[in-house]
């Protein structure tokens, strides 16, 4: 039931004709600012993603930089993830940098007007060719946004690469420019025109018609710049955007480029301000709920203006549109807004018998649409739409999380922002596919590690019913890498934090804010706690309805840092860090299990494990011998093979600071007051290739980088979906070199008992004991044939699984996740290749070269196989299958018509094909 509901919702929500409208609506704006046909357009939000000119320097870049940076003397990023952050290095700025012209871009998010930045006189960069209207950029590459300049590679393979394993071995570094002309018709004279950038990595600086507009350094935040003073109505206006990605600026793959959507927003001078509505719900029950709508109206005209604010509420349909007749009109507010200022008014209404938003399967994520109209001098001047949900959240120290008064166990994962082989460039379908796989897993919550996401990702979590911890910073003043966010934190932490909360606070899926992850200030006592309190206060000023926290891997209950937090967000400390016998000799933080100590010190605060496990594995790889422990660190010959850069998939081996799922489950079951967990991580991600630095991507995912399920998927599914009848055997059963040798067999099942059979002969029946989450037959002697298991629950037949010995490799098979995809140039089909014998049995060790071809209006975006050690560039149509599987990602060319044939070939094997968009 969990799985079957969401494909239908996806089909309804993402029909090609409505895709762009959905994106516009979910971000809180209208595309044409009208609910009914025939209304005057008061607000336009226009995508300008297409046809940018792109140039990245090969040699020494220009000198139009935001600020000077400290010299990097140690570029080594091969460090353990829980290494202690260090103090920043002071540098002296010069008058040549553009920082003073960029800082005023954040003024709207600095609460104290006396601290607003004043723009100096002058126009830096005005003589630089790239910002000029008449510069000839015909030789530049033509790209569409979102765009990640680094993902096409090639990978850096050398030992001392300029970008090492920590940042994914891809060319993220350097300075690049984007140019595009925007047409502003004469009819727009008198309008206010904004440039809205959802994310650009990083140090974005924008010119229009040769004049410096402003910018935003932090690459993960969305931001707005006012283009109005620089526009020439009646023709083309030249945008030029400079980005600067330093090496050693991240602990994972950040991507490069304008990697999220970009918009022009055109409004009248009197309009709803940026992210200018805030909708909250109170006294929520099945019978009624109080809905409050705060509206900030901005007056950019030259005179004071009286404004009437009227808000109507509708149910929202699957497309994010008004789904029927108006439910209620809120009492109007009448205000006067001074010229050049803004003013906030709050409206309130009681909804009768509201449709509540909540996480499936027990609840349903209903959404509402608020349509706010501004009326001045009897004329409507703006219309602004906001999607929201009616729901209550209770964070109870004993009962855990309650959504709409019903307990919800947090079954969450951590997600980095990259989308595997397509990189950091956000794609709705790629993100939706990940969420669908997580829903099948039984996951109900996402922690966004460790930065604000693309806005459309939260649109998806709203619609699909995932709970979210929304996080902004991985570090504050103390650095983790030499050129990370600590360089701009003093100037930008307030604007970044306020912008982050304002953008996302209407999303019902967001259940809590996190303003830090494993920050170095944990180590600095009261000084660090004081800074934490400053950030906490900023978050709560912007939104007092949700808890605010920062995740702790070092701070202990008796330290000042945890006192600041509304909820206790623990990374690995609950089950203990390096505390088990196999870990105690390892260097680094060592912590005994601390759930009881935190509970005793903070009896009124909810505890959640914001990072658990960090188990490691390579999909389909099984190494011998197998540890008898329930958790062990990866070591050479003990779960790891450094030559092949592979980790055993028995799902017992972990990072040095981590723990197996079995150990985490035990700790959580012994401390049921803990609200749940966020596993590190849901999917493998680019960068942080623990334990093998020469690799491209992590090993910690429940799914690999291609989205293929590891065995661990079924272990979590057996726990998170206890009513789902499932059983899973590992390993595979094709071992021609191990006939007569011992191969341990493990079974994951939501049942409580199982009997294992080899070629029809019982190998015994086992029952799960207390704090046991897998059934183990560790002395099975390998014989080719059929290995099967029958499982039981409460003495009754439950589920079965079978693995069999594969024959000789004979054929390829292709399976598309979706056969019909939109022709908008954005939608994707993910096609899985399997290497099989003549009977269709997967060859589990097959690593044959495969060539993919496409005919018709489609194109290959990327290929992958989930192997962290594979350094073939993602756009390559040539890809080795890895342990029997490979992936090809297909896109229809914009406006393309007709069927698309995808073919896979490998020497000596029967080829395979699949047809997309078949008439």
**Active-site positions?**
518, 611
For residue 295, what are the contacts with CB-CB under 8 A and spacing of at least 6?
A: 272, 276, 277, 309, 311, 333, 344, 345, 346, 347, 372, 384
CA–CA separation, 290 vs 153, rounded Å?
52
Does residue 255 come out as left (phi exceeding 0), alpha (psi in the -120 to 50 range) or beta? left
Number of H helices, E strands in the chain: 10, 49
CA–CA separation, 474 and 481 (whole Å): 11
**Contact, 478 vs 500, CB < 8 A?**
no
The vertex-897 CA angle with 893 and 902, nearest 5°, equals 65
Helix axes 428-441 and 2-13, enclosed angle (nearest 10): 160
Exposed e or buried b per residue across 352-388, where buried means at least 16 C-beta atoms within 10 angstroms of its C-beta? eebbbbbbbeebebbbbbbbbbbbbeeebbbbbbbbb
Alpha helices in 634-721 (DSSP H): 661-670, 711-720
597: three-class secondary structure by DSSP: helix
- Under DSSP, is residue 839 helix (H, G, I), strand (E, B) or coil? coil
Beta bridge partners of 632: 653
What are the residues whose beta carbons fall under 8 Å from the beta carbon of 58, sequence distance 6 or more? none
Q: Give the three-state DSSP class for 552.
A: strand
Helices 711-720 and 428-441: crossing angle in degrees, nearest 10, is 60
Q: What is the spatial distance between Cα 551 and Cα 61, in angstroms, rounded to a whole number? A: 38
Residue 104, SS3 per DSSP: helix
Tokens encoding 866: 């989930």
From the number of C-beta atoms within 10 Å of its C-beta (0-12, 13-18, 19+), residue 866 rates as buried
Q: Tokens for 792?
A: 């039981």
On the question of a cis peptide bond just before residue 772, with omega within 30 degrees of 0, the verdict is no
Tokens of 331: 């009492």
H or E segment at 861? strand 858-864
Kindly tell me the sign of the dihedral angle through the C-alpha atoms of 571, 577, 582, 587: positive
Helix (H), strand (E), coil (C) string for 562-596: HHHCCCEEEECCCCCECCCCCCCCCCCCCECCCHH
Three-state DSSP at 222 gives: coil
Within 10 angstroms of residue 558's Cβ, the number of other Cβ atoms is: 8
Helix residue spans in 755-902 (DSSP H): none
State the Cα–Cα distance between residues 879 and 850, nearest whole angstrom. Answer: 5
**Omega cis (within 30) before 450:** yes
Closest CA to 45 of 67, 64, 23: 23
């Amino acid at each position: 039931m969990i799985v079957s509901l969401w494909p239908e919702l996806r089909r309804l929500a993402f029909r090609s004709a409505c895709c762009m409208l959905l994106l516009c609506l979910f971000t809180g704006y209208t595309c044409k600012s009208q609910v009914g046909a025939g209304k005057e357009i008061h607000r336009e939000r226009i995508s300008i993603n297409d046809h940018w000119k792109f140039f990245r320097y090969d040699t020494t870049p220009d000198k139009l930089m935001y600020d000077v940076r400290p010299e990097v003397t140690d570029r080594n990023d091969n460090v353990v993830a829980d290494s202690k952050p260090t103090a920043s290095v002071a540098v002296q700025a010069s008058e040549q940098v553009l920082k003073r012209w960029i800082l005023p871009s954040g003024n709207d998010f600095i609460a104290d007007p006396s601290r607003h930045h004043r723009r100096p006189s002058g126009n830096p960069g005005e003589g630089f060719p790239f910002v000029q209207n008449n510069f000839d950029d015909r030789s530049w590459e033509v790209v569409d946004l979102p765009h990640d300049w680094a993902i096409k590679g090639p990978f850096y393979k050398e030992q001392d690469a300029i970008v090492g394993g920590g940042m994914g071995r891809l060319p993220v570094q350097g300075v690049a420019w984007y140019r595009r002309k925007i047409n502003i018709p004469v009819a727009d004279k008198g309008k206010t025109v904004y440039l809205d950038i959802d994310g650009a990595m990083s140090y974005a600086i924008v010119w229009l018609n040769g004049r410096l507009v402003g910018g935003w350094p932090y690459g993960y935040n969305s931001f707005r710049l006012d283009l109005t003073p620089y526009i020439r109505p009646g023709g083309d206006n030249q945008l030029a955007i400079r980005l600067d990605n330093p090496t050693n600026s991240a602990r994972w793959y950040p991507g490069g480029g304008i990697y999220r959507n970009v918009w022009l927003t055109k409004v009248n001078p009197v309009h709803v301000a940026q992210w200018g509505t805030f909708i909250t719900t109170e006294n929520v029950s099945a019978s009624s709920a109080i809905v409050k709508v705060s509206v900030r109206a901005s007056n950019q005209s030259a005179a004071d203006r009286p404004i009437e604010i009227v808000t109507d509420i509708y149910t929202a349909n699957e497309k994010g549109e008004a789904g029927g007749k108006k439910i209620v009109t809120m009492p109007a507010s009448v205000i006067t807004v001074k010229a050049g200022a803004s003013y906030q008014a709050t409206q309130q209404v009681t909804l009768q018998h509201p449709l509540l938003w909540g996480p499936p399967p027990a609840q349903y994520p209903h959404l509402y649409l608020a349509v706010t109209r501004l009326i001045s001098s009897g004329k409507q001047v703006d219309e602004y739409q906001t999607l929201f949900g009616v729901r209550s959240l209770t964070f109870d120290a004993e009962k855990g999380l309650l959504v709409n008064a019903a307990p919800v166990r947090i079954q969450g994962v951590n997600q980095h922002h990259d989308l595997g082989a397509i990189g950091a460039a956000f794609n709705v379908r790629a993100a939706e596919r990940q969420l669908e796989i997580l829903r099948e897993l039984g996951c109900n919550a996402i922690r966004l590690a460790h930065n604000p996401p693309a806005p459309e990702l939260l649109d998806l979590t709203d619609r699909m019913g995932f709970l979210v911890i929304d996080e902004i910073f991985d570090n504050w003043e103390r650095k983790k890498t030499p050129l990370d966010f600590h360089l701009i934190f003093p100037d930008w932490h307030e604007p970044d934090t306020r912008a982050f909360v304002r953008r996302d606070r209407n999303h019902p899926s967001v259940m809590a804010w996190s303003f830090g992850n494993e920050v170095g200030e944990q180590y600095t006592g009261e000084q660090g706690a004081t800074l934490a309190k400053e950030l906490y206060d900023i978050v709560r000023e912007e939104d007092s309805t949700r808890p605010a926290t920062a995740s702790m891997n070092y701070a202990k209950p008796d330290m000042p840092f945890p006192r600041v937090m509304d909820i206790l967000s623990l990374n690995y400390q609950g089950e203990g860090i390096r505390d088990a016998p196999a870990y105690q000799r390892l260097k680094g933080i060592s912590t005994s299990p601390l759930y009881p100590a935190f509970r005793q010190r903070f009896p009124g605060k909810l505890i959640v494990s914001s990072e658990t496990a960090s188990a490691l594995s390579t999909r389909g790889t099984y190494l011998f011998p197998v540890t008898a422990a329930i958790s062990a660190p990866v070591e050479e010959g003990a779960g790891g093979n450094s030559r092949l850069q592979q980790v055993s998939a028995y799902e017992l081996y972990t990072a040095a600071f981590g723990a197996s799922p079995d150990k985490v489950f035990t700790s959580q079951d012994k401390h049921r007051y803990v609200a749940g967990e966020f596993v590190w991580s849901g999917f493998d991600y680019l960068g942080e290739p623990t334990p093998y630095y020469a690799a491209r991507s992590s090993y910690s995912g429940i799914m690999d980088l291609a989205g293929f399920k590891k065995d661990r998927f079924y272990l979590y599914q057996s726990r998170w979906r206890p009513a789902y009848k499932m059983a899973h055997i590992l390993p595979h059963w094709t071992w021609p070199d191990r006939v007569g040798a011992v191969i341990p067999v493990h079974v994951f099942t939501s049942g409580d008992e199982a009997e294992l059979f080899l070629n029809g002969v019982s190998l015994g029946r086992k029952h799960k004991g207390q704090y046991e989450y897998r059934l183990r037959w560790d002395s099975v002697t390998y014989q080719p044939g059929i290995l099967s298991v029958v499982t039981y629950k409460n003495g009754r037949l439950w589920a079965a699984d079978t693995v069999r010995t594969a024959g000789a490799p004979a054929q390829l098979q292709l399976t598309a996740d979706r056969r019909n995809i939109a022709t908008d140039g954005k939608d994707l089909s993910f096609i899985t290749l399997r290497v099989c014998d003549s009977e269709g049995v997967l060859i589990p060790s097959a690593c044959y070269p495969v060539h993919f071809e496409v005919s018709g209006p489609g194109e290959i975006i990327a290929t992958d196989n989930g192997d962290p050690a594979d350094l073939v560039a993602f756009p390559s149509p040539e890809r080795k299958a890895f342990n029997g599987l490979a992936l090809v990602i297909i896109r229809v060319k914009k406006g393309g018509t007709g069927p698309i044939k995808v073919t896979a070939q490998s020497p000596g094997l029967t080829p395979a094909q699949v047809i997309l968009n078949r008439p």
